[in-house]
Amino acid sequence: MSVSTTTASSDVALIDLLDRVIGGGVVVSGDIVIGIADVDLIYLGLRLVLAPAHEVEDSVGLTRRRST
C-alpha cells in the first residue's frame, strides 16, 4: 500500500497536526483562562503551557524514574 493512500491517513494527519499546534511552536510567557461553556473556571498566569497528554505522561514517567 502506498504511503499516500494509507487508510485513515487523514485522521492520523489531523491528530498529528493538533498535537503540533498545542505541543509545538514558540513559547511566550502569557496567560490562559480555562473555562467550560463560557464560564471561566480558573485563570492562570502562565509559565504553564498546554501540552499533549503523552508529553505530560512522559514527563511524569521521567520524574518517577528519577525519584527511584
Chain residues binding other proteins by CB under 8 A are: 1-4, 6, 9, 12-13, 16-35, 40, 46, 49-50, 52, 54-55, 58
Quote the CA–CA distance of 44 and 36 in Å, as a whole number.
15
| Closest approach of other proteins to the CB of residue 62, in Å | 12
| Closest approach of other proteins to the CB of residue 64, in Å | 16
| Closest approach of other proteins to the CB of residue 35, in Å | 7
User: Which cell numbers in the block locate residue 2?
Assistant: 502506498
Nearest alpha carbon to residue 44 among 32, 35, 36: 32
User: Which cell numbers in the block locate residue 63?
Assistant: 520524574
